């Protein structure tokens, strides 16, 4: 968001704006800038939501008053519902079976995606920052970056296979399971300093982009007509989990660490075309 905001204000020659200088026209201009950039409505909404959060934080810290809250006058853009992409079981089997050179970046990206999937679709930041010390007593235990809550997973045969691969390419004194992030920068994960936190976030973003680049090379090799990203591991897990658990929403909710079953239901509704297709076949098969 900050990169987009800076690009917009530079393009419009608005300078370094104080909160009180930001009016409805400026926000509408930012919205139009984002749409012209080709971003999806959900991404535009997300950008403006973050600007709104900055205003809320500024009021909380008493940098501005409640009367300076411009979002009372500005109408947020609507985020259109979009279908979440996922891999089917057959596509996932193809993805797993695809062979790549040991130690290559494409192999690391493939195994990172599979580790995320096997850890109930955890976010890529958590996967990238997992350390060997998180593996103990036949489990993987770590604090989630987003919430700080403890996640604990039994090491299944699938997870063990992935861990054994990363052990095979592990260098001496390497702490991270996946050898992509700068380990010194990972130490800044919990830093309260803004510049250090920004450095850490940029490192996560760079490595995520690198993995996504190779994931799309894999989908080309497999002739899968979908855009694959790290987050699709989460979508894929949710889609398969709800079917394998016979529709157990509570299980999927707990696995995805959603705070509310309604969130899980909305999440799944944008994934599950297959069940609708099967039921439609049953209804129309006279």
The pLDDT of residue 189 is 86
Strands (E), 36-170: 135-136, 139-143, 150-154
Report, as an integer, the average pLDDT of 126-142: 95
Confidence of residue 247 (pLDDT cuts 50, 70, 90): confident
| Domain count for the chain | 2
In a domain, 225, yes or no: yes
Report, as an integer, the average pLDDT of 260-276: 66
Q: What is the pLDDT of residues 185-223, one digit of tens each?
A: 999 988 888 889 889 999 999 999 999 999 999 999 999
Residues 149 and 43 in one domain: no
Domain that holds residue 25: 2-72
pTM of the model: 0.74
In a domain, 115, yes or no: yes
In a domain, 222, yes or no: yes
In a domain, 247, yes or no: yes
Give long-range contacts, CB 8 A cutoff, 24+ apart: 168-173. 168/102, 169/102, 169/103, 170/132
pLDDT higher than threshold 60 for residue 281:
no
Residues 116 and 213 in one domain: yes
Residues 11 and 114 in one domain: no
The pLDDT of residue 191 is 83
Residues 105 and 197 in one domain: yes
Report, as an integer, the average pLDDT of 3-27: 95
Q: What are phi and psi of 147, to 5 degrees?
A: -120, -20
Domain containing residue 169: CATH number: 1.10.443.10
In a domain, 207, yes or no: yes
Report, as an integer, the average pLDDT of 175-193: 92
Residues 163 and 252 in one domain: yes
Residues 242 and 196 in one domain: yes
Q: pLDDT exceeding 70 applies to what percent of the chain?
A: 91
Residues 153 and 200 in one domain: yes
Q: How far apart are CA 106 and CA 28, in angstroms?
A: 41
The pLDDT of residue 239 is 85
pLDDT higher than threshold 60 for residue 52:
yes
Residues 177 and 43 in one domain: no
| Residue 215, C-beta contacts closer than 8 angstroms, at least 6 positions apart | 109, 110, 113, 228, 229, 230
Residues 246 and 175 in one domain: yes
Q: How far apart are CA 144 and CA 207, in angstroms?
A: 18
């Amino acid at each position: 968001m900050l990169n987009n905001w800076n690009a917009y204000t530079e393009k419009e020659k608005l300078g370094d704006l104080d909160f009180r200088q930001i009016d409805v026209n400026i926000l509408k201009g930012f919205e139009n800038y984002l749409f012209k950039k080709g971003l999806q409505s959900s991404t535009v909404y997300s950008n403006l939501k973050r600007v709104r959060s900055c205003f809320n934080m500024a009021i909380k810290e008493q940098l501005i008053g409640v009367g300076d809250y411009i979002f009372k006058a500005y109408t947020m853009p609507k985020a259109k519902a979009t279908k979440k992409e996922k891999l089917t079981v057959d596509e996932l089997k193809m993805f797993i079976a695809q062979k790549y050179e040991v130690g290559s970046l494409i192999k690391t990206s493939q195994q990172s995606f599979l580790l995320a999937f096997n850890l109930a679709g955890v976010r890529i930041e958590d996967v990238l920052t997992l350390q060997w010390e998180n593996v103990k007593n036949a489990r993987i235990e770590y604090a989630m970056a987003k919430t700080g809550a403890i996640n604990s997973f039994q090491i299944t045969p699938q997870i063990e296979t992935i861990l054994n691969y990363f052990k095979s390419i592990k260098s001496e004194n390497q702490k991270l399971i996946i050898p992509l992030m700068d380990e010194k920068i990972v130490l800044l994960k919990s830093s309260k300093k803004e510049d250090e936190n920004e450095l850490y976030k940029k490192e996560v973003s760079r490595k995520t982009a690198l993995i996504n680049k190779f994931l799309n090379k894999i989908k080309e090799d497999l002739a899968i007509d979908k855009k694959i990203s790290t987050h699709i591991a989460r979508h894929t897990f949710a889609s398969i989990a709800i079917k394998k658990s016979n529709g157990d929403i509570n299980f999927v909710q707990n696995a995805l660490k959603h705070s509310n079953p309604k969130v899980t239901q909305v999440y799944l509704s944008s994934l599950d075309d297959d069940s609708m297709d099967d039921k439609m076949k049953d209804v129309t098969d006279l």
